[in-house]
Structure 1
Amino acid sequence: MSDKDFSGNDDLSLPKATVQKIISEILPQVPHDASAAGRDGEMTFTRPARDLLISCSLEFLRMLSSESNDISERESKKTISVEHVEQALTDLGFGSYIEGCRGVVGEWQEVQKKRVGRGEKMRNFGGFDKMGEEELRKMQEALLGEARGRMEGQNEPHGE
Structure 2
Amino acid sequence: MTACDQAAGLRQWAGTQQGPDSPRAQPRASTAGAPPRTLVVVGLPGSSPDQAGRVMTLLEHWAAEGQRWVNDPAQWRVVPLAISSPHLPLLLTQQSRWALWVGSDPDAFRQAFAVLRQLHERQGPRRLLAVHAPDLPRRGLLNNLQQAAWRYLGIDLLVMAS
> What TM bracket, shorter-length normalisation?
under 0.3
Which of these two proteins has the greater Rg computed from alpha carbons?
Answer: 1
Greater fraction strand: 2
Q: Structure 2 length normalisation: TM-score?
A: 0.27
> Which structure is higher in RCO with an 8 Å CA cutoff and minimum separation 6?
2
